[in-house]
Structure 1
Amino acid sequence: MSRFARLLRRFASDESGVFAVLFGLMAIVLIALGGAVVDYVSLEQTRQRAQIAMDAAVLALQPEINLSGVSRESILERAQAMVLERIGPNVTEAMVDRIEMNPDEGRLFLGGRFTVPTAFVRLVGVNELGAAFSSEAMRGSVDLEVAVALDVTGSMSSQNIRDLKASVLDLVDTIVQDVQEPNYSKVALVPYAQAVNAGSYAEALRGPIRGPKAINSITLWAETAIRNISAVETPRNGPVTITSNGHNYRDGDWIFIWGVSGTTQLNGRAYQVTARSNNSFQLRDQRGNDYSTYRRDGKMRKCSAAGCQLQVTSNGHGYAVNDWVHITQVEGMTGVNNVTYQVTSRTANTLTLSGLPTDGVGSYRNNTGQLHCTEEGCDYFRFPNRAGGSTTFPVTTCVTERELTPYDLPPSSGYVGRSYAGSGNPCLSGSMAMVPLTANKSALSTTINALSAGGSTSGSLGILWSWYALSPNFGYVWPVESRPAPYNGEHLLKAAIIMTDGEFNTVHCRGVVARNSTSGSGGTGDQINCDAPNGNPYPQAEAYCDAMKARDVGIVVYTVGFNLTAGSSAANMLDYCASSPDNAYLASDGTQLRDAFRQIARNISALRLTR
């Protein structure tokens, strides 16, 4: 018994192995504490994702608090869907369950909570950690004036133009608020290609146009009888001989030939008859040049006047000898239409015109036709072209640049450039006319949905006219509700968005595509033989961007390049033009284009977040 007692006393006093027991107990606590750091980091990362998701949700949903039919429950439901989409995996629960709305102040508050499972602290009985998150958006206390220049040139066809429409519709929907009090938000649209269509504002911007005079009559310029040509002989350096059985022409008569195939060089010209016989004659001063094979067709008429000149009556026409005139809308004798003629003699009410119809068909129908002047300021303009000849183009409702600084002086100080354009590189259609600043989403959507692609790229002009849409100096041209506010106004943001998908290639001289335009801007016959006074496309663009970003103007510029290569001339121009590097976007597909416009809309919508 005494031995057992001694054994118990020795066991009680023995301390060997105590540290191991204590360490085992402490290890559980240390592991739990160390793991808590990992669990906390995971919680914080999830909280950050939740906060970003909530910020995005409140920004997206704030504009809807003033819409009829939008309930608190629907906003909560949509906000929760956005948060769940972005918050990430391993979330036990996420709930957006708090909302405060004040439509009068433009205020939307959203709050929520989430829980995540733990990996380590569960060892001490903590299976979940949670956190709350919230965000608030308030309508910014600034007025918004935003002009959007949209490239609708030929390269924007098919899917590109559809992507652009969707992107700009999104932008308009975000920026233009349905409630325009206490602050307004307006957008102007400036579609551009070879030029910008000013629509009903054209005359106020580029000045009045001298219109046509009515044609009262055209003296029968050729006999009624039309004779067929049965053969043409064009030996090299020999006389050109026409065969037409029983033609009844005499030496010295003037005839007009048209409709010949093969030897088409004979068409649309006047000739004098010589060396006639009953069934043939020669064309005076015309030598053969191995013309293409004649195909046994063609027609001719005997002219009433030497050289087949037209004798036109237009009471009080006001033209002088050597003036050039253009004829349209003649009925019957339609071949005289769309031809430019020179005046060779005149009286107060009559003109003799040197020039030839396109064909000799038909007889004049009384009191039809119009006689147009062809100088700058007329509704037609005859200009020396780059190919060495002359071209006549009609005036359009499009507008171009002008040689005038400061660039945004009002049109009353100097009209903007006219636009004379042919069918190969035309003015944009009326459905794509520029829209001055407006809060009318329906009007903006109508123009956006009408966009179609065609023409060359006057990118510098798009930049210039986005500025004009924001310039108070142009305000008197637009309706009262579309007039821009003065520059640098208190609580005012003016922003221009410049979008293009190609190199700038088109500038203008005297209202026509200039000869210093580059590849892609039309043929030499459609370009005037002078350089644009404001310089080549990119120097023009840089000058306009510098001026509109200047402190005394204060326009914030965003740029969007679509399918452009970084480092290309156009991409570098957009980088230069943007107010900051963060304001320049490059998009390589429709999704990126839409994202770029959405981000710009968020940036300039003047919403502010508070937490």
Structure 2
Amino acid sequence: MVGRFGRDESGVFAVLFGLMAIVLIALGGAGVDYVALQQARSRAQVALDAAALALQPQIFKASYDEETVRAQAEAIVLDRIGDARINARVDGIETSIPDGSLYLHAEFTMPTMFVSLVGVPTLGAAVQAKATRKMLELEVAMVLDNSGSMANYNRMTYLKEAARCATRIMFYGEVDDDCDEADDAEAQDNVKIGIVPFTMMVNIGTQFSNATWLDWTGQNSISQLNFDSDDNASTPFAGPVNRKTLFAQTGTSWRGCVEARRAPYDTDDTAPSTTAALFTPMFSPDTASGNYNSYMSDTGGTCQVKTCTEKVVRKNCSYSWWSGWTCSGSTTNTYTKKVGSTTTNPAASCVPANAVVLSGPSTDQNGTTLTTTTTYSLLSERELQERLCKYNGTTVADSKNSGPNAYCPSISVLPLTDNVDNVLARINAMNADGGTNIQQGAMWGFHALSNTEPLTQAAPYSSGAVSKVMILMTDGFNEPDYQRYSDTWNGTGVYYSWGFRKDGRLPDTDGIIGNENEYNAHNSKADMSATMDEKTVATCNNAKAEGIRVYTIGLNPPSQATRDMLESCSSGDGYYFFPEDPSDLVDVFTQIANQLAQLRLAL
């Protein structure tokens, strides 16, 4: 029986079939395992790509640690794969800071369903990813309205909050819900921010008082306007006028404001390498007595006395409450003319037409005789205003709204800097006071982003590794003179960035300084405001031509003209904002800052 059993082959096929079935199932299921492997590999590749992109910025940080980044990358990969059966390990990292590249290598394994039947319990593969984003310089000039209207409805409070938040986002990238930098955040050293506070003027800072691009000695023809040395308005004055001397003579100091350059330099950043392109330190001239910003005597200093005194003697005079003084006797007029130390008594009147009264009339009574004395200037109001001699040795009180620095804002420009504390301090120091000159704010934002004088902290325009941005915010409109527009002699009561309106510098279409034809052609406040709008848009267009991105923010714009101007000034759709409420400023600045934070990295 044993022999028959040994020779019996009737069950051999079943054994062989069983063995073959395992192999056939494994081979048939290998395709399933392979598909699963490829699916897992695809998920692992996507996960590793995401890890490389997310962690690439870490390579620029001083605190960069390879093992920390490796562990973070591995955690991202496992999370993105989302399958606990798959094991993955990031086992290779390479970095290149000059190229801005992070290379990751990873391996993963997964259990098999079918080929495990033939002794292959797991399958695996390797994946690799590389993220390359060069670190770019980000240069941002925040041009911020500090005019008096910003004190209304807590506008300045919200603006400061918004600007601080934007600053932290751009410097740190990561902020908490209160817009403070995250605990582990580090200030990026490839970010520079400048602050340009503006009112009706811009204060560039007294640290530039010895800069060669400031025209202290009066080389530029605009420096001679509103000054004269011969007491004769009919003869042209060729200058020069040394403004540093004027400040010294009056016992005052330059506060830091400059005038707008003469056209076309008032809308571009041409380097101040020629006389016409120099910057003129602002010195607000003393106006004739009785006019706005008259801060000294027109007959003081080393000026010669030039007067005509008229004495009128009337006889047989009586006084009543109803009619005042009435005289029935004779009237005698006598005149005393004084020029310097020379006194004469002309028989005819020496009182000029449209004479300026220096003193009087004063009336003395002696019985029934009345004597009225009035002293007139022999000079016209303009001749009195323009006298250079009156500044010599006359100490004046220089205040916020009066004197040589009248209406020069107290907070100066902060040029581009990578010091976040300095930026925040300048924002905190801002205050609301004065008028609105959006154009000059934009112009100095433009200067801040240029590497040519007057401000040289920026990278050259030709640098491919820099992104330049201007953020221009205002709650008002371009005001030619918010104090007194129709001043008799000067056209405006306040001496502002383009001098007096009578100087004809703001329109200046013909390049002739002091052209009153242009003054007469632009003799309304609306004309002047429209011209300022045109110059604002021209400034923005010139900045955009140099590759500067311009964001504009108009807080509840006062007119459609201002809204149109700000829209034209911007870089287009998505670059202009018109929030209605001051509290909306924080959201607007945050949105812009988040966009700009991404500009620090370029794919």
Shorter-chain-normalised TM-score: which range? 0.3 to 0.5
Q: If the length of structure 1 is used for normalisation, what is the TM-score? A: 0.46
Q: If the length of structure 2 is used for normalisation, what is the TM-score? A: 0.46
